[in-house]
Structure 1
Amino acid sequence: MKVRLRRAFMEERSKVYEWLCLSDTAPLHMGLPDYPENPVPSWEDFQQDFFDGMFVTKMAPPDMVVLGKTAMSGFNGCAQEMNSPYVCTADSVWIIEAGQQEAGCVCANSFHLLPACAELDIWMRSKAFCGRGLGAKALGLLVEYLRNECGIRRMLIRPSEKNYRAIRAYEKTGFRRVDNKEDTVRSFLLPEFWQQYGDGDYGLESTAVLVLD
């Protein structure tokens, strides 16, 4: 199935929240009973993590917000245009489109990382879109964009150790799992963000650390 990515619009932020936190896939990676260490965030907490600069306005031309349809050319992101405190082109949320359906989201963050680094995350809007290879294709498109348009050279993704399906999917995309978790994460994070983001969502011991470089 043809997969493409489209930048998420500001008006879609609540939809992105519902897919991440309130859908039937949410228990696969957060909240009770399996992930008490990673509780479901409130709407307010979600807005802090997924800040304005990660979204685009509907004024953006379509050929500047779509991956997998036409080649990107000269796109420099939207964080600066929207006066975000984090001026970084890599910080972005993308809607995964599979054929004519919206299948989920993939995102990148780099405001807390050293130069040329990005941290990725991905989730499906429902279980109906899981296990079909859509996530791997979406990650591949995002990796290509980050490398070619944003100058990103090293990428990090941190699922739960218990999320075996996600780990296998990331490895198929080219990510490799590392044993020395703390040193690896420290090689990505800016020192001032270690206290806040060093442990990931699940605590360092319970987090699988995968890198692509």
Structure 2
Amino acid sequence: MINIRHARLDEKYKIYQWLSLSDTTIMHMGKPNFPESPIPNWVKFQEDFEDFYFQKDGREKGSVMIITLDNEEIGCLCYARFHLQHGRAELDIWLKAKKYCGHGYGTDALEKMMEYLKSNININKFLIRPSKKNIPAIKSYQKAGFSNANAKKAVIKEYLLPEYLEEYADGDYGFENTTVMIRE
């Protein structure tokens, strides 16, 4: 059974390892398939995932959550809100090993996170921005109820706060390489 829980600050390094040093890393970042999204080193990861993501008092802005399968940690989810309009969250997910991919665990975890965000933080609109090349992720997000945004630029403007448009509009892969997906 899939469950999720908020990650703690003392778990930050293992989450970095799952993102940047696992056998799933090449499935969503780095050369040769994703040169526009380089694999972060530990310093860059710490810049991108500030401590508030791991602290209770930061959950209004965002949080990293651990995914468990029958009490075994298998990956994590992240939501960010600090750069978005009210009632919206941007989501991300990565699993710590390929053996957990393709079983629906990520889809189930996303469902649980969205349920949590609706119930606890009053979020009802969700954005996720995978690479166009990451077909397995896109299919998983579609199973979780996400649909491709037809007017990507309009959706980005609707979701992001104006002061963050320049910094965050392109997503992790650059605007041309990104699939903008929403669930409302």
Q: Same fold (TM over 0.5)?
A: yes
Q: Could you tell me which amino acid in structure 2 is paired with residue 25 of structure 1?
A: T
- For these two proteins, the number of residue pairs brought into alignment is 184
**SS of residue in 2 equivalent to 1:78:** helix
Runs of 4+ more than 6 Å apart:
none
**SS of residue in 1 equivalent to 2:79:** strand
Q: Give the gaps of 5 or more residues in structure 2.
A: none
1:74 is matched with: none
Deviations 1:96-121 (Å, cap 9, x if unpaired)?
A: 00013111000100101111110000
**SS of residue in 2 equivalent to 1:97:** strand
**SS of residue in 1 equivalent to 2:89:** strand
Q: Measure, in 1, the Cα distance between the counterparts of 2:83 and 2:60.
A: 13
Q: Could you tell me which amino acid in structure 1 is paired with residue 67 of structure 2?
A: I
Q: Could you tell me which amino acid in structure 1 is paired with residue 20 of structure 2?
A: C
1:48 is displaced (CA, Å) by 1.7
**SS of residue in 2 equivalent to 1:95:** strand
Q: Measure, in 1, the Cα distance between the counterparts of 2:144 and 2:61.
A: 19
RMSD after superposition: 1.0
Q: Measure, in 2, the Cα distance between the counterparts of 1:11 and 1:206.
A: 34
Confirm whether residue 119 of structure 1 aligns to residue 90 of structure 2: yes
Identity of aligned residues (%): 44
Q: Give the gaps of 5 or more residues in structure 1.
A: 57-76, 80-87
2:100 is matched with: 129
1:83 is matched with: none
5 Å-filtered alignment, 1:1-213, equals: 2-56=1-55, 77-79=56-58, 88-89=59-60, 91-213=62-184
TM-score w.r.t. the length of structure 2 is 0.97
1:90 is displaced (CA, Å) by 5.2
The answer to whether the Cα contact below 8 Å between 1:103 and 1:126 also exists between their aligned partners in 2 is: yes
Q: Name the one with the larger helix percent.
A: 2
**SS of residue in 2 equivalent to 1:114:** coil
Deviations 1:19-69 (Å, cap 9, x if unpaired)?
A: 01111101001000000000011211211221111113xxxxxxxxxxxxx
Q: Measure, in 2, the Cα distance between the counterparts of 1:147 and 1:92.
A: 14
Q: Could you tell me which amino acid in structure 1 is paired with residue 13 of structure 2?
A: S
**SS of residue in 2 equivalent to 1:121:** strand
Q: Measure, in 1, the Cα distance between the counterparts of 2:112 and 2:154.
A: 28
Q: Measure, in 2, the Cα distance between the counterparts of 1:100 and 1:150.
A: 25
TM-score w.r.t. the length of structure 1 is 0.84
